[in-house]
Chain A
Amino acid sequence: MPHDGIVIVGSGHAGARAAQSLRANGWQHRISVIDGEGCAPYERPPLSKAVLSGKSRPEDAVLFPQDFVEQHGIDFRSGVRAVGIDRDTRQVRLSNDDAVSYGRLLLTPGAEPRLLDIPGRELEGVFSLRTAVDACGLSGQLLPGADVVIVGGGLIGLEVAASAIQRGCSVTVIEAGPRLMTRAVPPELAELIRLLHETRGVRFILGRQAVALLGSQRIEALRMDDGSTLACTAALISIGVTPRTDLALAAGLEIENGIAVDCFLKTSDPFIYAAGDACAFKNGDGSRLRLECWKNAEDQGALAARNMMGANEPYTPMPWMWSDQYDRTMQIAGHPELGEQHVARHCPDGSLLVYHLDANDAIVGVSGFGSLREIARGVRTGQMLMQRGIHPAKEALQNPKIDLKAAAKVAAG
């Protein structure tokens, strides 16, 4: 293992966690972090929730513990972008004309909000949401009485809808598909979430596409594919993200729906690894999978660090994600999409948990929407049942009076 240092490109969730994990695992040599964003690394999830609803600021959720960079001697290049990788000399070229050499290189460039390729997207008042700067810009528009249109009824769009309602805006969400959060959320929950938003005053337009953003300098209205228009004072475009692969592509690394990595998170160049939203990893069944969630960035960042130090541990994803809307929480663990039977458990406080079973009654996923307490405990219990291979009777899964945690313990002996 050459000791000429580890370079991390991108100091978002995966990159920052990798730097911490390297030091925690005893890496004593140089760690250079190339931070294109130019501020202390922070967590993105609060941006659409606490930050936009006015309860916190982006800098309240920093990733590094205080003094981490100084204490651990991190070579932190703030506001500098990587612009090229020279694989022969093992150097990363930087936007300030500097270069930095690597023994191992980790790419964690994240993902970019997908562009809506329609006229008017450069108008003032049109936003996407990925960074603290985006959140601060959008937040400035969420004034009482503002008319906010959200294009895209996915998780981020709905979290912003909840925040905007809480700030006193009127909110319309346009979604091209027949229902909300099609990609990430089981239909039972999506329906419950839609109802909650509607009672809070959000208006949904399903099955329609935005075709133009109208206004002379600022956005004033949005036109849909049926020709009708909606007046608005601000618009958020939240139609998904695309992985940032430009740097890897230019360096000749294999790309397949993201920076292609094997199960050890190694790219097609053995000296270069990738993690987080940007990478597509080899799954157990040989397929390639790219996940866009916090838990994945967290776990892959830490694992890539260990593997660059020689650990050689395969990545076994344990998908888990959450979303907070109003005072409710949603959590999803495992693979609900593989479920063939869906068993609902209605808790007394109105929370809904759904256990997703395969044809043999094995739990393959669990999801829920409601109070933080019921959902966290129910989903965690579901994970425990999955990990231990316990198949409780459907009656037990359904009945909120039956303590599944105890059942899991008894069955495990």
Chain B
Amino acid sequence: MPDNGDWIETCKAQDVGREDVKRWDHGDRSFAIFRTADDRYYVTDDICTHEYAHISDGFVEGTTVECPRHAGCFDFRTGEALNPPVCVNLRTFPAKVEDGLVYIRLADD
């Protein structure tokens, strides 16, 4: 399935731990693929909007992820920055699971 519409195949759904996050690199960009405790999947940009850190190295609890560097939190469903020092939201991308694979759709910018 090389090109399922605009959807891009990323990784196996089971490769993302429950209530955890996995990094996925594509071109020169990194994305963070989240899986909730009840197996919903979300995708955001992987680079923190504060200084510099991979969000996928962070700690997931419920539907928030805490940046590993200075503990700024984001709601990974919406990308919303929840507490200082982060004040700029993370970008989110549509995600879906089909046949055990996670797909994401990038915006056309």
Contacts and interface: CB of A to CB of B under 8 A. Distances in A.
B79 interface: no
Given A320-B71, A322-B70, A377-B68, A298 B57 contact: no
A376 B69 contact: yes
Given A46-B51, A372-B53, A372-B57, A322 B84 contact: no
Contacts of A358: none
B85 interface: yes
Given A61-B51, A298-B84, A373 B70 contact: no
B84 A376 contact: no
Of A295, A373, A375, A384, chain B has the most CB atoms within 10 Å of the CB of: A373
Given A46-B51, A61-B51, A372-B69, A380 B59 contact: yes
Contact of B69 (A295, A322, A381): A322
A375 B58 CA distance: 10
A45 to B, nearest CB: 8
A373 B57 contact: yes
Contacts of B101: none
What is the size category of the interface that chain B forms with chain A? 10 to 19
B32 to A, nearest CB: 13
B106 interface: no
Residues of B contacting A: mostly: loop
A373 B68 contact: yes
Given A46-B51, A50-B51, A322-B70, A376 B85 contact: no
A320 B67 CA distance: 14
Interface residues of A, number: 23
B68 A376 contact: yes
B66 interface: yes
A17 B70 CA distance: 15
Nearest to B60: A405
A20 B83 CA distance: 12
Contact of A376 (B59, B61, B87): B59
Contact of A380 (B53, B66, B87): B66
B58 A376 contact: yes
A132 B71 CA distance: 24
Interface string A1-35: 00000000000000001001000000000000000
A281 to B, nearest CB: 20
A217 B84 CA distance: 45
Of B61, B66, B69, B88, chain A has the most CB atoms within 10 Å of the CB of: B69
Interface string B53-93: 11001110100001011110000000000001101100000
B23 to A, nearest CB: 10
A372 B85 contact: no
Interface in A324-351: 329
A372 B68 contact: yes
A381 B53 contact: no
Contacts of A380: 59, 66, 71
A405 B85 CA distance: 24
Interface in A278-328: 294-295, 298, 302, 320, 322
17 contacts: A20-B84, A46-B51, A61-B51, A322-B70, A329-B68, A329-B69, A372-B53, A372-B54, A372-B57, A372-B68, A372-B69, A376-B68, A376-B69, A377-B58, A377-B59, A380-B71, A405-B59
Given A373-B54, A376-B69, 20 more contacts: A17-B84, A20-B84, A46-B51, A65-B88, A294-B70, A295-B71, A298-B84, A320-B71, A322-B69, A329-B69, A372-B54, A372-B57, A372-B68, A372-B69, A376-B57, A376-B59, A377-B58, A380-B59, A380-B66, A405-B59
